[in-house]
Amino acid sequence: MSQRLFRAGALSLALSLVFLTDAVIAAPTLAAAPAPSGPTVKIDNFVFGPAALTVTVGTTVTWINQDDIPHTVVANDKSFKSRVLDSDERFAFTFTRPGEYAYFCSLHPHMVGKVIVRPA
């Protein structure tokens, strides 16, 4: 009888370890997003800040949604478009040609900004 209880206990312990190991292996890990290497535009309180940014050709601009609700970044000329950005998500675009690039949030069209790109 005691041998049967020992086997049942050992089996129970083994199964517990298998489930625990699977849970640890399956647990998602959160990696920190790399810091942007160029200028950033903060999205907060329904505003792009700075509203206008001047950069040179080849510069990557990163938009960071620091608001509590989703936003997008869409160029008026459709040269770039982000997906919907939740809180703390980022969108980056590298400007390869000089010009003025007006943009807005497609979810909140009153939110506007502009990137002015000068020759290198």
Residues of the chain with pLDDT under 70: 1-34
Output the pLDDT for position 2.
Answer: 55
CATH of domain 40-118: 2.60.40.420
Cα–Cα distance for residue pair 42/24, rounded to 1 Å: 36
Output the pLDDT for position 17.
Answer: 39
Domain boundaries, the chain: 40-118
Output the pLDDT for position 37.
Answer: 78
Bridge partners of residue 71, in order along the sequence: 85
Output the pLDDT for position 19.
Answer: 41
pTM of the shown model: 0.73
Output the pLDDT for position 99.
Answer: 98
Non-local CB neighbours of 83 within 8 Å, separated by 6+ positions: 72, 91
